[in-house]
A and B are shown apart, each in its own frame.
Chain A
């Protein structure tokens, strides 16, 4: 083969967000005509990397060369001009516009520079759809009427409507049925045969084996392995690369196995289900126990938590607190019964970002500090102060604006809210997301201490070591079903990753 420069080469890419170093010197090299797979756990930096590649994020450092020439990808338009197209996991189509309008959005074929020639766009779209194996999609139909799989195809047609040399696909198979996945793979094969490179992101190892040429593994913002042969690298090695840890988490000591068996369950979930999200789930939570739900994004973890909490209405099954069933779909009933939730998106779902620590802590307990609606602000502030002190939140000032706090301390404020309320069951959804490694150990200790004081904790985390290190019992989820339940001490990370990726319950 002629020594040709790689199509794309990224070296030493760094990118930081406030408090998080998302990319810490990533290298990636992509050849024309190959399928290059990008693997990594949640938070490894995959999304940030592809946004840099799409021109949506500007890297803080590092070099990008395109066909041997150094380039800067200053905007999505700049990336597109070079021939880089990105298909995001959350499709970025406009539902009210037609298929053809979406495909040619931003580069509509025009007469005299501004009159859109709709028929030309429709004809070209029809050709693209035919090439993608979906001639049945009508270019004139509004995108909102199409199925998720068809929308994916439209997204791909949009990518191909440009002169494209590199297509980035972020978990394209996540929303597809098996036969649609086959079609997707056929399209990928056609593209690479024409010399187009594909950067393919997926959690599913078996897919990567089927279509991938080479694999780059990301972990904690670094490429821990680049250009491994996709077919021959053993699964064990890939998993080890994804999970191998630089930083050892320090987990608090657990009580002995089975310590809670004799206790009366405080939370019982019986056959709880939501169509399309998760199959019937049963679980019991005893005082003092931490139960973990492990699984990938989309495995139904957060959905289960939010349904237990009443934030989503269950299609079937029930939730009992101390033997009393909760009315479905009522957060207020759940809170009154003694359940508290620390939601996944702390800023969007948990906190009042314009308010003080005190207001954020007392919000679920306001009536306790009120007489006929009038707030006793001194009592409120004192109680909030007491609660944040117990969790050693810093700064030790209930009047501090919540947005000035670090992620770990914001999370403590959410925990303090439920501590103040005196809840019996705490649901934690990704409690350490956006929390510095150093602050995590402290948060783990706080959670364990709350459990030791009699709280029952249900923990969701995409970080497997976190679930294994913190929980007493673990339920492993894959695609909405519990595939394995075990004492946390009987599982190791590889085993769990095997389970969530391959879904094979037998060892």
Chain B
């Protein structure tokens, strides 16, 4: 049932804001907006680096610390790329952290480790994609609300992860996997995990901006009904998107195995919230239809850098979390102002 009275009240301010935004965007071509947003986030990152450099001059700018920050950003970063696609399509994936946990423990069971490097990688990715498939089928063809379907996946994947490990840490004994995390494996000083993150980012950007898949994702998120009436298979698109998110979780799980040298059922705790927050401060609309990979990646870097600076200055986690919350609010408010009439 609609409520005409309330709708009517909203109409006037919205249209006023719209026309303001219209003037705005008629002055500069579509697309430049992304860059402006990303630039402001880049500015925030620069400020943070300066703050880090001033408060902890020796530690923060040390090569090893920068490598650490980037490595930490890599795992959640890969998850965030997948999340960005899902949010741009108007959905949400609350199960990413739980899928990372499940994939990481499944890939590190004694039985899997017998198959070595390939076995671990394959299992992590397959579990991620499998969970994504379940999410996608429930949402696209079972017509479940994404929030509910992925919430259910969150609960059951975590439960299954606990079931597999029985709460124990599963140590990785495959040397070829562990070798990826050691200093000798760095390429020109860049950790392999960071390279994976970079590759996922570049591919994600290309797919979102240069392929029919990306265009359809934006269309489904911007106006699912219009997309359907334009002849797009909206349901199949949704299925693919949750598969993609699951795939990213699988890759992230493998990266986490390399990083930690083990698999644990507590892995990926609250990744869903970090990934959503990073995408949002990166300029992705939670209602769908607009978002950028570059913004999301910058969002991840901002959060990771804050965590690092706080840790270097021996500040409590509690303060850290408050700062994160404040940054989310500030970023969204600033973006809405700079976009005047943005539909968020």
Chain A contacts to B: CB under 8 angstroms: 17-18, 51, 54, 56-58, 75-76, 86, 88, 90-95, 309, 311, 331-332, 334-336, 341, 343, 348-356, 359, 363-364, 366-367, 370, 373-375, 377, 399-401, 403-404, 417
CA distance A75 to B31 in the complex (A): 39
Residues of B within 8 A of A91 (CB): 1
**In whole Å, how far is B326's beta carbon from the nearest beta carbon of chain A?**
28
Q: Is the CB of A353 within 8 A of B222?
A: yes
Q: Is the CB of B30 within 8 A of A352?
A: no
**In whole Å, how far is B98's beta carbon from the nearest beta carbon of chain A?**
30
Known contacts A95-B1, A356-B30, A374-B211: A335-B222 contact under CB 8 Å: no
CA distance A504 to B52 in the complex (A): 82
CA distance A319 to B319 in the complex (A): 65
Residues of B within 8 A of A374 (CB): 210-211
CA distance A56 to B10 in the complex (A): 9
Known contacts A57-B12, A311-B228, A331-B231: A404-B26 contact under CB 8 Å: yes
**Which residues between 13 and 58 of chain B lie within 8 Å of chain A, taking CB atoms?**
15, 18-19, 21-22, 25-26, 29-31
CA distance A331 to B25 in the complex (A): 33
Residues of B within 8 A of A90 (CB): 1-2, 4
The list of the 7 closest CB pairs from A to B, nearest first, reads: A335-B231, A56-B8, A352-B222, A92-B3, A366-B212, A88-B4, A364-B230
Q: Is the CB of A51 within 8 A of B219?
A: no
Q: Is the CB of A401 within 8 A of B26?
A: yes
Q: Which residue of A lies closest to B26 (CB)?
A: A404
Chain B contacts to A: CB under 8 angstroms: 1-5, 8-9, 11-12, 15, 18-19, 21-22, 25-26, 29-31, 210-213, 215-216, 218-219, 222-223, 225-233, 289-290, 343
Interchain Cβ contacts under 8 Å between A and B, 10 examples = A18-B19, A76-B9, A88-B5, A348-B225, A351-B223, A356-B30, A364-B232, A401-B22, A404-B25, A404-B26
Residues of A within 8 A of B226 (CB): 343, 348-352
**In whole Å, how far is B47's beta carbon from the nearest beta carbon of chain A?**
29
CA distance A316 to B233 in the complex (A): 24
Known contacts A56-B4, A76-B5, A351-B226: A359-B215 contact under CB 8 Å: yes
Q: Which residue of A lies closest to B343 (CB)?
A: A354
Residues of A within 8 A of B26 (CB): 400-401, 404
Known contacts A18-B18, A400-B30: A354-B229 contact under CB 8 Å: no
CA distance A93 to B290 in the complex (A): 33
Q: A90-B2, A375-B212, A417-B230 are in contact. List 18 more A-B contacts (CB 8 A).
A: A17-B15, A18-B19, A56-B8, A57-B12, A75-B9, A76-B9, A92-B3, A93-B1, A343-B229, A352-B218, A352-B219, A352-B289, A354-B218, A354-B290, A363-B215, A366-B212, A375-B211, A403-B22
Contact of B223 among A18, A348, A364, A367 (CB under 8 A): A348
**In whole Å, how far is A281's beta carbon from the nearest beta carbon of chain B?**
20
CA distance A499 to B233 in the complex (A): 40
Known contacts A51-B4, A352-B289, A373-B211: A404-B22 contact under CB 8 Å: yes
Q: Is the CB of A56 within 8 A of B9?
A: yes
Q: Is the CB of B216 within 8 A of A366?
A: yes
Q: Which residue of B lies closest to A335 (CB)?
A: B231
CA distance A377 to B226 in the complex (A): 21
Q: Is the CB of B210 within 8 A of A375?
A: yes
Q: Is the CB of B1 within 8 A of A349?
A: no
Q: Which residue of B lies closest to A380 (CB)?
A: B215
Contact of B218 among A51, A93, A355 (CB under 8 A): A355
CA distance A355 to B285 in the complex (A): 14
CA distance A54 to B6 in the complex (A): 11
CA distance A416 to B39 in the complex (A): 35
Residues of A within 8 A of B30 (CB): 355-356, 399-401
Q: Is the CB of A399 within 8 A of B219?
A: no
Q: Which residue of A lies closest to B9 (CB)?
A: A56
Q: Is the CB of B230 within 8 A of A363?
A: yes
Q: Which residue of A lies closest to B342 (CB)?
A: A354
CA distance A315 to B308 in the complex (A): 62
Q: Which residue of A lies closest to B285 (CB)?
A: A354
Residues of A within 8 A of B8 (CB): 51, 56-57
**Candidate in A343, A351, A353, A355 with the most chain B CB atoms within 10 angstroms:** A355
Q: Which residue of B lies closest to A58 (CB)?
A: B12
Q: Which residue of B lies closest to A362 (CB)?
A: B215
Contact of A354 among B210, B230, B289 (CB under 8 A): B289
Q: Is the CB of A92 within 8 A of B4?
A: yes
**In whole Å, how far is B209's beta carbon from the nearest beta carbon of chain A?**
9
Contact of B229 among A93, A349, A401 (CB under 8 A): A349
Residues of A within 8 A of B212 (CB): 366-367, 370, 373, 375
**In whole Å, how far is A154's beta carbon from the nearest beta carbon of chain B?**
11
CA distance A367 to B233 in the complex (A): 13
Known contacts A18-B15, A18-B18, A403-B18: A370-B211 contact under CB 8 Å: yes
Residues of A within 8 A of B228 (CB): 311, 331
CA distance A375 to B30 in the complex (A): 18
Q: Is the CB of A341 within 8 A of B219?
A: no
CA distance A156 to B25 in the complex (A): 46
Q: Which residue of A lies closest to B21 (CB)?
A: A403
Residues of B within 8 A of A76 (CB): 5, 9
Q: Which residue of B lies closest to A367 (CB)?
A: B212
Residues of A within 8 A of B29 (CB): 399
Contact of B222 among A56, A88, A334, A355 (CB under 8 A): A355
**In whole Å, how far is A375's beta carbon from the nearest beta carbon of chain B?**
6
Residues of B within 8 A of A375 (CB): 210-212, 215
**In whole Å, how far is A84's beta carbon from the nearest beta carbon of chain B?**
12
**In whole Å, how far is B9's beta carbon from the nearest beta carbon of chain A?**
6
Residues of B within 8 A of A94 (CB): 1
Residues of A within 8 A of B223 (CB): 348-349, 351-353
CA distance A7 to B232 in the complex (A): 54
Residues of B within 8 A of A350 (CB): 226, 229
Residues of A within 8 A of B230 (CB): 335, 363-364, 417
**In whole Å, how far is A170's beta carbon from the nearest beta carbon of chain B?**
9
CA distance A56 to B225 in the complex (A): 28
Residues of A within 8 A of B19 (CB): 18
**In whole Å, how far is B35's beta carbon from the nearest beta carbon of chain A?**
15
Residues of B within 8 A of A356 (CB): 30-31
Q: Which residue of A lies closest to B233 (CB)?
A: A332
CA distance A356 to B222 in the complex (A): 12
CA distance A341 to B228 in the complex (A): 11
Q: Is the CB of B213 within 8 A of A332?
A: no
Q: Is the CB of A354 within 8 A of B1?
A: no
Q: Which residue of A lies closest to B33 (CB)?
A: A401
Residues of B within 8 A of A93 (CB): 1
Residues of B within 8 A of A377 (CB): 210
Q: Which residue of B lies closest to A363 (CB)?
A: B230
**In whole Å, how far is A13's beta carbon from the nearest beta carbon of chain B?**
15
Residues of A within 8 A of B11 (CB): 17, 57
Residues of B within 8 A of A367 (CB): 212
**Candidate in B29, B215, B231 with the most chain A CB atoms within 10 angstroms:** B231
Residues of B within 8 A of A51 (CB): 4-5, 8
Q: Which residue of A lies closest to B7 (CB)?
A: A56
CA distance A56 to B2 in the complex (A): 14
Residues of B within 8 A of A341 (CB): 229
Residues of A within 8 A of B211 (CB): 370, 373-375
Known contacts A354-B289, A364-B230: A349-B2 contact under CB 8 Å: no
CA distance A352 to B227 in the complex (A): 8
